[in-house]
Structure 1
Amino acid sequence: MLEEVERWLAGRSWAAADRPLDQLLERKRAAGTTVSVVLPALDEEATVGAIVEVIRRELMEGLPVPLVDELIVIDSGSGDATAEVAQKAGARVVHRDDILPRIPALPGKGEVLWRSLLVATGEIVCFVDADLREFSASFVSGIVGPLLTDPEVQFVKAMYDRPFGGAPGQGGRPGGAEQGGRVTELVARPLLNLHWPQLAGFVQPLGGEYAVRRSLLERLPFPVGYGVELGLLVDALHTVGLDALAQVDVGVRVHRHQDGQALGRMAAAIYRTAQVRLSRGHLVRPELTQFERGPEGFVPHTYPVDTEERPPMLGVKEYALRRVA
């Protein structure tokens, strides 16, 4: 298995600079492929506008052919000005609850990504988290690139350093001890190495930046919560095989980091997603109890662990009707 992972790393891991923008534009024009970028957003007014502006300025406007044809922000119920900021910056903004209204929305990132397939029209769909700071257009062009240049590639994840204390020069150290990604290192990576060792070569298996051919996405179930990235990666492996998966180094990812309690809930969701894929068995207790110190000692707080998954979009009648149209 180690030899297979090393072979995959040598043939399916690249840097964003390996595919210059002019090369991608030429390939895109020749193939007539369309690209949608989707940003799932919840209370991200501080960062979403800058991300939208960079994508529009560098990948959509003033080019012989746009690399990105469609830029959509899916607002999942923000209490701040996320929608207004994103729209002013030039994105199309759609509220989660306005997509597929016959099915009541569940909370969670995966729910938003699943519903986005009904409003995004591109043959390639690129997901980007909306909390990124110091955003670079290479986060999009880098992961879209292999899908435009290699017809065998179907699913591309971004890989990057995640400095815990900020960007390089601001307290963060790429590749050093102060890395983020604690749920990745403590939960996701051990699970993948133990149960899906073919995926051991992915540097950022839980990263929120990845581009996928629609023809694959519409065949995959979506965990509604934080487990969506692990679930999609594992299911893509079983659906199209390791050689259809790839990763691209885009440099440094700067974003906010969660506290330990939130990370615990994320870890539980990741474990649950893996468990379902390992056994498809019954969840005895899909809940997580955590503790906080109060005036009279430790107080328990119990949270539900994401247990819902949305079916492959091909089975949703509204999506099927849109494809026919």
Structure 2
Amino acid sequence: MLPEAADWLRRRSWTADRWPVERLLAAKRAAGAAGTVSVVLPALDEETTVGAIVEVVRRELMEKVPLVDELVVVDSGSADGTAAAAAAAGAAVVHRDAVLPRLAPVPGKGEVLWRSLLVTRGSIVCFIDADLREFDPAFVTGIVGPLLTDPGLQLVKAMYDRPLEADGAVVAAGGGRVTELVARPLLNLHWPRLAGFVQPLGGEYAARRSLLERLHFPTGYGVELGLLVDALELVGLDALAQVDVGVRHHRHQDSQALGRMAATIYRTALERLDRTHRLKAAEDLARPVLTQFSRDPDSGGFRAHSHAVSATERPPMIEVPEYSASRTGFATGDPRQG
């Protein structure tokens, strides 16, 4: 890992218990209008989970304590009872197609997040995926906390364990397959300053509206990578941070869906590399490395592991003198010649 990224990882990675609600309420009061918080859930066919998330946010962070000012579910065309479940639980529900109707919507999560800026008013916008189970309020307080207490921060991502849960079996670190196979290698090789992010594709993050309104939003699954890369370019690494919120339980997609997601993310990266004329690996990466993370059983935090990424290539054999000499020997009938 680059020294800059390693230093950032040490200084800009925290745990959610650093921001108890009482501290956040005091910071919110002191910030005034700059401390207003909107929570947005993009949703597509999430009837079974969206209501429980809304209930927790409303009960714990709006009714018990006035931390969240508005809670909006943006439905991107659900065929089930997502909208009704969200409304019954207490969220304001907005249908994607009703936002900016002069512009025909396109499918994709990023499209919904982009349009949500038109129907929210908070100075801090917190995005939460609508498929989470066993939802903990720390997913909100943990990522909103740094923004309320540090005016120098612009975007904060959640980090967490992401077990793969399928058919009754649990693989502790089996989730995040697209992260490990596509996003993390792309970031390490082309934007190595972002190598310290544990969950770069995670859907739980908060940012200042003043930043979000200046960023391009890829309309599909590439939105998280695109926003992270563009935020780095616009406000710099030190304005970004991450907070450990524990464990993320959610619905997992099949391999074909993951393939489509991976292709979209790769395309998003290529667009940014082309835009900045950086189609080769980052010049500041002296030795290509890949930094990965695992939970440390002793400290309870995340431990970084860096591995060399082989970039050595051999020339075509026909360019090697010894090979040419050996072929000459074969041609003359004496394989030992040369």
Query: TM-score scaled to structure 2, two decimals?
Result: 0.79
1:228 aligns with 2:226: no
Tell which deviates more after alignment, 153-162 or 178-187: 178-187
- Which residue of the partner structure matches residue 189 of structure 1? 184
Tell which deviates more after alignment, 17-26 or 124-133: 17-26
Pick from 24, 38, 59: which aligns with 1:57? Answer: 59
1:158 aligns with 2:153: no
| Deviant stretches of 4+, over 4 Å | none
Does the 8 A contact of 1:231 with 1:273 survive in 2? yes
Following superposition, the deviation at residue 31 of structure 1 comes to: 1.0
CA distance in 2, matches of 1:187, 1:10: 24
Following superposition, the deviation at residue 171 of structure 1 comes to: 4.4
Structure 1 residue ranges without an equivalent (≥5): 282-325
1:172 aligns with 2:170: yes
**Superposed CA offset, 1:49-78 (max 9, x none):** 000000011100032xx1100000000000
Following superposition, the deviation at residue 173 of structure 1 comes to: 5.3
In structure 2, the CA distance between the partners of 1:261 and 1:173, relative to structure 1 (3 Å rule), is closer
Does the 8 A contact of 1:41 with 1:82 survive in 2? yes
CA distance in 2, matches of 1:101, 1:173: 43
Following superposition, the deviation at residue 20 of structure 1 comes to: 0.9
Structure 2 residue ranges without an equivalent (≥5): 277-338
For the aligned residue pairs, the C-alpha RMSD in angstroms reads 1.4
Structure 2 residue identity aligned to 1:57:
R
CA distance in 2, matches of 1:220, 1:98: 22
Does the 8 A contact of 1:161 with 1:179 survive in 2? no
Where do 1:192-271 residues align within 5 Å? Answer: 192-271=187-266
Q: Looking at CA atoms only, which structure, 1 or 2, has the larger radius of gyration?
A: 2
- Which residue of the partner structure matches residue 95 of structure 1? 95
- Which residue of the partner structure matches residue 321 of structure 1? none
Following superposition, the deviation at residue 172 of structure 1 comes to: 3.2
Structure 1 residue identity aligned to 2:219:
V
- Which residue of the partner structure matches residue 76 of structure 2? 76
**Superposed CA offset, 1:262-310 (max 9, x none):** 11110000100000000139xxxxxxxxxxxxxxxxxxxxxxxxxxxxx
**Superposed CA offset, 1:19-49 (max 9, x none):** 1111011100111110000000000000000
> Counterpart of 1:67 in 2: which secondary structure?
coil
**Superposed CA offset, 1:82-140 (max 9, x none):** 00000000000000000000000000000000000000100000000000000000000
Following superposition, the deviation at residue 179 of structure 1 comes to: 1.9
Structure 2 residue identity aligned to 1:246:
A
- Which residue of the partner structure matches residue 284 of structure 2? none
Where do 1:9-158 residues align within 5 Å? Answer: 9-32=9-32, 33-63=35-65, 66-158=66-158
Structure 1 residue identity aligned to 2:44:
L
Structure 2 residue identity aligned to 1:222:
F
Query: TM-score scaled to structure 1, two decimals?
Result: 0.82
Aligned residue pairs total 274
